[in-house]
Amino acid sequence: MPIIRVSLMEGFASRAEQAQIAYGMTEALVDVMGDLVRPYVYVTVDDLRAGATAVGGTMLTEVDVRDGIATSDRLLTDRPLPQQIEAAYAALGTGDEEAIAQYWARDLTWSVPSDSPLAGTYEGLDAFLGYLGKRPRPFSGDARPALIRGSVSLQVRTETVAGDADPDREPALDVIHELTWRDGKVIAGREARFGAGSACADSYWG
């Protein structure tokens, strides 16, 4: 019977967050050992009190805990939610600069790989939107679930290229986007193309 115990300083996680931690720990173990172990996985998330926990022989004080919580809250503020990521891409499709600016910072930078005809780093929202205007279908197509680590999200987006006017063009291009977030907005991004479509870059960008 697997038993997982997670100890956090008191106040670091709400009850809802502790439930998410318990769920995540269970799923991590199931990924390794298989779904058969799920009914037998026990997860406990407890709170440690200041003054009763030491790191390297030094007791943690209430000030240490408050500072730690403040740092954690700040990092969580920059952590994007999956729905924020999709809303950011949806805003691009509106063509409304004010709507776009809700998710894409006006001072953002966007980097395009050197093997692209549009390669380079675009500084500022206007330059970024100008870059999108040169693409056949900017950031369209299906997207896989985003991987989120801290303030950075990674996502593979399959951009559709084929159209009724030219059905012989390469049908899709896989692109991975790395976005850095701050205060709910993208402040930096870069992309890399791969898959079958990347071999037909000239046709795609034409």
pLDDT of residue 202: 46
- 137 and 58 belong to one structural domain: no
- 56 and 99 belong to one structural domain: no
Retrieve residue 128's tokens.
């970024």
- 92 and 50 belong to one structural domain: no
Q: What is the full per-residue pLDDT of the chain (206 aa) written as tens digits?
A: 789 999 888 887 888 888 889 999 999 999 999 999 999 999 999 888 877 777 777 877 777 767 776 666 665 667 888 889 999 999 998 889 999 999 999 999 999 987 777 889 999 999 999 998 887 666 766 788 899 888 999 999 887 655 444 545 545 678 899 999 998 899 999 998 876 555 554 455 54
pLDDT of residue 203: 52
pLDDT of residue 95: 85
- 89 and 112 belong to one structural domain: yes
- 65 and 113 belong to one structural domain: no
What is the extent of the structural domain holding 93? 82-205
- 110 and 181 belong to one structural domain: yes
DSSP helix/strand/coil, 53:
coil
Q: Which of 45, 78, 111 is the last residue of a domain?
A: 78
- 117 and 189 belong to one structural domain: yes
CATH number at residue 160: 3.10.450.50
Q: Which of 78, 113, 145 is the last residue of a domain?
A: 78
Residue/partner pairs of 10-15 with CB below 8 Å, 24 or more apart: 10/47, 10/48, 10/49, 10/50, 10/65, 11/47, 11/65, 11/69, 12/47, 12/65, 12/68, 12/69, 12/72, 13/45
DSSP helix/strand/coil, 32:
helix
